[in-house]
């Protein structure tokens, strides 16, 4: 693994464990078995490390959504949620970081907004299709997209932060179908 990647991976672990402010450049260097100075050979600042982690997440998510949309016309609520939660699982560390930093650090907020915009747009597209098929309950596509959006974040947080609640995926999918779609 290249040094730069090593720093990023280590930072992901550390920040998701203890938070951005409690992750010091000293602790990061120690955990990665490099010197503090080396961090600054690869990144402009501590915040820059964070930005790289989040920008990378944003890019992965962009590819993920592209992949989903390219799969064809099928775009069911079930599938959408299931796949998203799989994405969450694969990118849990970076997502954890995004969710706790976007209110605290400006550069993180921008990335969060980009992800949210992409996600929101994706849901709108999918739900518009369902609406065309008259499968949507009487709710505006936009409201439905927003509700789906925040509900997905809720599930994400449940998965990442409250694993004690158990795996809510299946009942949640059922709940969403009933809540949004006609039989």
Partner DNA sequence: TATGAATGAGTTTTCATTCAT
Partner DNA sequence: GATGAATGAAAACTCATTCAT
Residues that bind a copy of itself (CB under 8 A): 18-19, 21-22, 100, 103-104, 116, 137, 139-140, 143-144, 146-147, 149-151, 153-155, 157-158, 161-162, 165-166, 168, 171-172, 174-176, 178-180
Does 45 engage in binding with DNA (CB under 7 A)?
yes
Does 46 engage in binding with DNA (CB under 7 A)?
yes
Name the segment binding DNA (CB under 7 A); options: 37-45, 95-103, 149-157, 161-169.
37-45
Asked if 69 and 141 touch (Cβ cutoff 8 Å), the reply is no
Question: Which option in a copy of itself, DNA, none does residue 62 bind, with CB closer than 5 to 8 A by kind?
Answer: none
What is the C-alpha separation between 146 and 141, in angstroms, rounded? 9
Question: Which option in a copy of itself, DNA, none does residue 137 bind, with CB closer than 5 to 8 A by kind?
Answer: a copy of itself
Question: Which option in a copy of itself, DNA, none does residue 63 bind, with CB closer than 5 to 8 A by kind?
Answer: none
Question: Which option in a copy of itself, DNA, none does residue 45 bind, with CB closer than 5 to 8 A by kind?
Answer: DNA
Nearer to DNA, 37 or 163 (CB): 37
Three-class DSSP labels, the chain:
CCHHHHHHHHHHHHHHHHCCCCCCHHHHHHHHCCCHHHHHHHCCCHHHHHHHHHHHHHHHHHHHHHHHHHCCCCCCHHHHHHHHHHHHHHCHHHHHHHHHHCCCCHHHHHHHHHHHHHHHHHHHHHHHHHHHCCCECCCCHHHHHHHHHHHHHHHHHHHHHCHHHCCCHHHHHHHHHHHHECC
Does 5 engage in binding with DNA (CB under 7 A)?
no
Question: Which option in a copy of itself, DNA, none does residue 132 bind, with CB closer than 5 to 8 A by kind?
Answer: none
- Chain residues binding DNA by CB under 7 A are 3, 21-26, 34-42, 44-47
């Amino acid at each position: 693994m290249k040094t730069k990647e090593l720093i990023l991976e280590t930072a992901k672990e550390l920040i998701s464990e203890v938070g951005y402010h409690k992750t010091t450049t000293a602790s990061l260097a120690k955990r990665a078995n490099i010197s503090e100075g080396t961090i600054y050979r690869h990144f402009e600042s501590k915040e820059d490390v964070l930005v790289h982690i989040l920008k990378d997440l944003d890019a992965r998510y962009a590819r993920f959504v592209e992949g989903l949309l390219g799969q064809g016309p099928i775009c069911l609520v079930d599938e959408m949620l299931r796949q998203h939660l799989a994405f969450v699982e694969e990118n849990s560390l970076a997502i954890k970081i995004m969710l706790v930093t976007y209110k605290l650090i400006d550069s993180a907020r921008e990335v969060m907004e980009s992800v949210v915009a992409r996600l929101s747009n994706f849901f709108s597209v999918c739900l518009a299709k369902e609406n065309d098929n008259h499968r949507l309950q009487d709710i505006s596509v936009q409201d439905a997209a927003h509700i789906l959006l925040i509900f997905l974040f809720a599930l994400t947080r449940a998965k990442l932060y409250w694993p004690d609640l158990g795996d809510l995926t299946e009942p949640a999918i059922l709940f969403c179908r009933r809540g949004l779609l006609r039989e």
